[in-house]
């Protein structure tokens, strides 16, 4: 006859065995779910992690190197034009509000010789009568300049200028002169300390309104 405790013992043993199997099965499911969570197949059409890794490596290896761009150095003509336009920008700044500045450093940066001396004298005169000049908003002011020649350390520029700057009293703002004129300049620039500067400015033509070279 078997012991009265045998059925109970067998039952407990069977229960423990099933419990261990249940834990192992649960653990396997959990591991499977964890791996699946790190592998969003819906984003790559069902590729496995290994497939995606291999594909990414191939793309990185075969991709073309980034393109590099270089900026060409300006030509002598471009440097001359930039200096010439810089001259007029400096003149407009020196004679502009709130007060004329004969000592503006930009004047000496873009002008030289007798031309520079004459501009400084003129600026002092205008400052003495409490006048300034300003560019009109949405005005026609322009310098249509072209380089005629560059020969060593000298260059010649032709410039058709539409001038509609307004002269006014620096204190009251009262308009003194708001006329419009067209002027044709022939200028000579010289290379001084590796910088182009305007040395000669000759006015070939001046007419009232927009006329002459401005209509060409």
pLDDT per position as a tens digit, 94-115? 999 999 999 999 999 999 999 9
Q: For residue 98, is the peptide bond before it cis, meaning its omega torsion is within 30 degrees of 0?
A: yes
DSSP, collapsed to helix, strand or coil, labels residue 77 as helix
Cβ-proximal residues to 70 (8 Å cutoff; 6+ apart), any chain: none
CA angle (129, 131, 135) in 5-degree steps: 165
Q: Which one is predicted more confidently, 91 or 7?
A: 91
User: Residue 112 and residue 125: Cα distance in Å, rounded?
Assistant: 19
Q: Note the pLDDT tens digit of each residue in 24-35.
A: 444 443 333 333
CB contact set of 11 (below 8 Å; sequence gap of 6+): none
pTM greater than 0.75: no
Strand, helix or coil for residue 46: coil
């Amino acid at each position: 006859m078997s012991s009265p405790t045998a059925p109970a013992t067998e039952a407990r043993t069977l229960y423990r065995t099933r419990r261990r199997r249940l834990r192992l099965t649960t653990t396997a499911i959990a591991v499977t779910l964890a791996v699946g969570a790190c592998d969003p197949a819906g984003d790559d059409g069902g590729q496995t992690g290994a497939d995606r890794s291999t594909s990414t490596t191939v793309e990185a290896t075969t991709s073309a190197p980034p393109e590099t761009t270089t900026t060409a150095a300006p030509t002598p003509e471009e440097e001359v034009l930039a200096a010439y336009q810089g001259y007029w920008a400096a003149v407009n700044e020196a004679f502009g509000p709130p007060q004329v500045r004969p000592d503006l450093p930009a004047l000496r940066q873009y002008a030289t010789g007798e031309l520079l001396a004459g501009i400084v004298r003129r600026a002092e005169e205008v400052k003495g009568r409490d006048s300034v000049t300003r560019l009109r908003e949405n005005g026609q002011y322009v310098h249509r300049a072209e380089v005629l020649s560059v020969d060593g350390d000298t260059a010649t520029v032709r410039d058709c200028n539409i001038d509609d700057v307004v002269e006014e009293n620096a204190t009251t703002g009262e308009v003194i002169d708001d006329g419009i004129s067209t002027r044709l300049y022939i200028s000579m620039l010289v290379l001084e300390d590796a910088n182009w500067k305007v040395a000669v400015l000759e006015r070939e033509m001046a007419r009232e309104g927009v006329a002459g070279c401005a209509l060409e």
